[in-house]
């Protein structure tokens, strides 16, 4: 079956975003990364500040699963935190863009949110720490925090965010149709492989 939706989960610094962008350009697919934020702001009525604050960010206490479990005796929606409102609005927008078809979606647990769709191809991009440190410092420069710690922090946040609404784990091999080590394979080759597979899997 034709894969009209490509989700790209990625370790921070692995180049997953760039790979997704190249794939979208090559295939003529729409590209959604921060574009998700724009759309959530537009459709949810929440402020940009709030949406940006909780984009791919959750804690145990504002976990959507946790909230729904705790509130399961009530109406389940009333009094949701901003974090939960952003999560729900984001999931709605991700389902909308998937319905519109032919798109690449970066992060935000899209592989889980769209898990029942057969036209979804789920990619995870990883790399060795040295390659990620090099890439992060080249792209974003150094900060006071050691780059390796910064990468670990960011990935831990992604893991916690995913866990806050998904009944499975971020980075678990079973979630993905393709995992690429961009450090060894290279950014352009990774993009080429994804395009090749998507173009070869039915029409």
Residues engaged in binding its own copies (CB under 8 A):
121, 124, 126, 171-174, 176-181, 184-186, 189, 193, 196-197, 200-201
Residue placing its CB nearer to its own copies in the complex, 39 or 126: 126
In this structure, the dihedral spanned by the alpha carbons of residues 104, 110, 112 and 115, taken in order and rounded to 10 degrees, is -40
Residue placing its CB nearer to its own copies in the complex, 3 or 108: 3
Reading the block at residue 25, the tokens are 């350009």
Provide the minimum distance between the beta carbon of 156 and its own copies in the complex, in angstroms, as a whole number.
14
Provide the minimum distance between the beta carbon of 180 and its own copies in the complex, in angstroms, as a whole number.
6
Provide the minimum distance between the beta carbon of 6 and its own copies in the complex, in angstroms, as a whole number.
12
Provide the minimum distance between the beta carbon of 198 and its own copies in the complex, in angstroms, as a whole number.
10
- Judge whether 5 and 119 are in contact, CB under 8 Å: yes
Provide the minimum distance between the beta carbon of 72 and its own copies in the complex, in angstroms, as a whole number.
31
Residue placing its CB nearer to its own copies in the complex, 73 or 173: 173
Residue placing its CB nearer to its own copies in the complex, 88 or 178: 178
Residue placing its CB nearer to its own copies in the complex, 160 or 185: 185
Reading the block at residue 40, the tokens are 């959530």
Helices of type H across the chain? 16-27, 34-44, 48-54, 64-70, 82-100, 110-113, 129-140, 147-163, 182-185, 187-200
In this structure, the dihedral spanned by the alpha carbons of residues 134, 140, 144 and 149, taken in order and rounded to 10 degrees, is -50
């Amino acid at each position: 079956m034709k894969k009209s939706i490509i989700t790209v989960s990625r370790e921070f610094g692995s180049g997953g975003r760039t790979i997704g962008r190249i794939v979208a350009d090559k295939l003529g697919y729409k590209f959604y990364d921060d574009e998700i934020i724009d759309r959530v702001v537009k459709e949810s009525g929440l402020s940009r500040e709030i949406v940006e604050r909780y984009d791919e960010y959750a804690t145990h206490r504002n976990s959507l699963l946790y909230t729904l479990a705790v509130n399961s005796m009530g109406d389940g929606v009333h009094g949701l935190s901003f974090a939960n409102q952003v999560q729900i609005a984001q999931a709605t927008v991700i389902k909308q863009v998937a319905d519109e078809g032919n798109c690449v979606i970066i992060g935000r647990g899209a592989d889980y949110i769209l898990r029942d769709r057969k036209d979804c191809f789920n990619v995870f991009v990883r790399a060795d720490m040295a390659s990620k440190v090099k890439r992060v410092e080249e792209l974003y420069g150094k900060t006071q925090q050691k780059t390796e710690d910064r990468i670990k922090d960011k990935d831990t946040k992604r893991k916690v965010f995913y866990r806050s609404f998904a009944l499975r784990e971020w980075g678990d091999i079973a979630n993905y149709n393709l995992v690429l080590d961009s450090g060894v394979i290279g950014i352009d080759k990774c993009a080429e492989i994804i395009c090749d597979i998507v173009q070869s899997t039915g029409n």
